Structure 1
């Protein structure tokens, strides 16, 4: 699939989020700003990091900020580890003859220390560290090492990594193991999104496999007052939609629907009514290009209170009319309109 892979470092191969958050909060504290928890950091931090600091501390120069950051980073006791599957992925690349490189914004001294401490240096043909804006170096890297962009991918965990890949016309691979929350990361439109590097390896091991449409189920959930559950999710570009997911092999569609609703919302449902089937082919709203067959239903809540899993960020119980006023993903809007036009739901405020 790819003959050349350019890896980001922090959040892609190595987990150093702990000391980075600690050092960032130290900098913010020096200037009287409140600290960020892990979730807030992943939602707001971005590269080039000068842009992040220009927004949160516009009155302070970058050189001054870096002095505070580095002292806190090097003094941090928070652990730094190789991410799961990273070493195995690099060993696999070496066995398969895939050329590997690193392009990172991490401080050069800290990077080379980690590279040596973890014994990963042998896997890379070349490394580039301390690069504040990777877009300024990626083209030089490609030319210097004679890489064919059509056979190369940039693998990273931040929107800047995706932007850098697009800038160089490489395939962009987003991994969900690092600094950027999946929501903002999906807005950068990566070509491929994987949970971790094991997922990328599995993808590359099956380059000739034909991708078939993915069968999924989803439902409008109605409560006793006739209101519908709407959830906002990063998978659909932070738009509003309905709970649902993939049908597993050997599983009936109704069983899959109840299972997915239980996993995503903690609700038990019944009175399952089929509404429609939709083709959703490479929607720009969804986090990755995919062909879904959406089996859409209307169900009624029987028990439970809403508890969202990590796939969704917010929920509301609304009338059908109120739901149509939200920033809905298109399949959900189509489903709502079909249910109303078919007499299954009332258009009421």
Structure 2
């Protein structure tokens, strides 16, 4: 995992995600295959050699099997706090609004993602990442260019497989 170090000595990493809606206004969510099996937006970590836009397009393709178009930046979210332990680095997440090109998404990364499904913004599944919850609320309100610090949720219990 690649980290950067801020001037205050804290470590950070960058990630990307996309709010993708279907014709009915539902949001596409991915459920993690491991760990706490949290629901989140399609996306992932940014590689050292790519821009956030290229990273989110790559991650959407890897997770859904489809190409996408990035429409706009919803916001930049700094995930911080020690609810998951003091050694967890901050995470800067670029969240975009995107559109899928072509048919419906298919589970394309079964090692990372256990489920893909559409959800109404007012009936989101749990456990859900705090960044996803915040970004969907901003997107639903029509906000763009948001810069927000988000405090980590306490880690949920690990679900038995």
Counterpart position of 1:273:
72
Indicate conservation of the 8 Å contact 2:10/2:89, yes or no. Answer: no
Counterpart position of 1:98:
none
Match 2:58 to one of 238, 254, 259: 259
Give, in angstroms, the shift of residue 294 of structure 1.
0.6
Counterpart position of 2:92:
293
Counterpart position of 2:135:
335
Deviation digits for residues 283-333 of structure 1, max 9, x if unmatched? 6569x823210111111111243223111111211221222x543111111
Find the aligned partners of 1:269 and 1:294 in 2 and give their Cα distance.
18
The count of aligned residue pairs is: 134
Structure (1/2) with the larger helix percentage: 1
SS of corresponding position for 1:320: coil
Q: Find out whether 1:220 has 2:10 as its counterpart.
A: no
TM-score, with structure 2 as normaliser: 0.70
Deviation digits for residues 253-308 of structure 1, max 9, x if unmatched? 1111100111122121114211111111366569x823210111111111243223
Bigger relative contact order, structure 1 or 2, given CA contacts below 8 A and separation 6+? 2
Indicate conservation of the 8 Å contact 1:278/1:293, yes or no. Answer: yes
After TM superposition, the structure 1 = structure 2 runs for residues 1-349 of structure 1, keeping only pairs within 5 Å, are 212-234=11-33, 237-281=36-80, 284=83, 289-304=88-103, 305-309=105-109, 310-323=111-124, 326-342=126-142
SS of corresponding position for 2:47: coil
Give 4+ residue runs of structure 1 displaced > 4 Å after superposition. Answer: 282-286
Structure 2 spans left out of the alignment, 5+ residues: 2-8, 145-161
Structure (1/2) with the larger strand percentage: 2
CA RMSD of the aligned region, Å? 2.7
Deviation digits for residues 87-138 of structure 1, max 9, x if unmatched? xxxxxxxxxxxxxxxxxxxxxxxxxxxxxxxxxxxxxxxxxxxxxxxxxxxx
TM-score, with structure 1 as normaliser: 0.35
Deviation digits for residues 169-193 of structure 1, max 9, x if unmatched? xxxxxxxxxxxxxxxxxxxxxxxxx
Counterpart position of 1:158:
none
Find the aligned partners of 2:62 and 2:134 in 1 and give their Cα distance.
24
Indicate conservation of the 8 Å contact 1:231/1:312, yes or no. Answer: yes
Find the aligned partners of 1:332 and 1:273 in 2 and give their Cα distance.
16
Find the aligned partners of 1:226 and 1:341 in 2 and give their Cα distance.
13
Give, in angstroms, the shift of residue 235 of structure 1.
5.5
